[in-house]
Amino acid sequence: MEKKQRMSRRSEQMGDQIEERIVTGVYPPGMRLDETELASGFGVSRTPVREALIQLASAGLVEIRPRRGAIVAEIGQHRLYEMFEVMAELEAMCGRLAARRITESEQRALVAAHQACEAARDANDPDAYYQRNERFHHLIYAASHNVFLEEQAAALHRRLRPYRRLQLRVRDRMGTSFSEHAGIVEAILAQDGELAATRIRTHVVVQGQRFADLIASLPMLGSPSLT
């Protein structure tokens, strides 16, 4: 069991490292990711690399093709916008239901997660902020007490994870994100479902200058015409 857990952690770490290189353009769209070369470069066996690539394929960052292996996927700007648009609506639904159904223990956990985000913001640590931000959002999904909705929101959140994480590196975004979180917490604790839905939708969807900033930070994006 312990060996399996170590292997799982190693695969997750590998996935994070490869994901970072894809999103920052080190591994550009269309590049073939050779398991042997990756294992050698990272100083690990092929097993965690293979598992990491399968995880990245499920997140849409990699395509596993017959006889070619793993290829870095391309994603167009329009497709990315569509995914954020759907994510915003799923999270809005979670927020609306959470405002009605959240338990006292879940309220305490949400407030604690919000405070943890504050500490990361104050430390100006976008990666730590993202990890705590991720927990904040997943707590809202769970507080909806709709398991199917929670599963769908979590799956799309995982698909958008690299883009949401990089977005936090845009100037002042952490501070703005934290302020938006405060409004979301306030609405949920006040049991105002419509306000919670409105605030979380605005928090998640990317449009206007925010979308332009996100696109500018993503050299791995493919052609804008791709869908």
pLDDT of residue 223: 44
CATH number of 77-216: 1.20.120.530
What is the structure's pLDDT at 193? Answer: 98
Average pLDDT for runs of 10 along the chain of length 227: 65 83 81 90 88 87 86 83 92 98 98 96 91 96 98 92 79 89 98 98 80 67 43
**Dihedrals phi, psi of 32, to nearest 5 degrees:** -85, 130
Q: Is 208 helix (H, G, I), strand (E, B) or coil?
A: coil
**Which phi and psi angles does 52 have, rounded to 5°?**
-65, -40
For residue 182, count other CB atoms closer than 10 A to its CB: 14
Domain-by-domain residue ranges, the chain?
2-72, 77-216
Helices vs strands, H then E, count in the chain: 10, 3
- Tokens representing 86? 């759907």
> What pLDDT is stored for residue 30 in this prediction?
87
**Closest C-alpha to 91, from 224, 201, 202, 222:** 201
Alpha carbons 179 and 227: distance in angstroms, whole number = 33
Contact 99, 192 (CB under 8 A): yes
C-alpha distances in Å from residue 88, one per residue of 16, 64, 91: 24, 29, 5
Cβ(183)–Cβ(75) below 8 Å: no
Residue 20: predicted pLDDT: 78
Amino acid 220: pLDDT: 52
Domain 2-72 falls under CATH 1.10.10.10: yes
Distance CA 74, CA 221 (A): 6
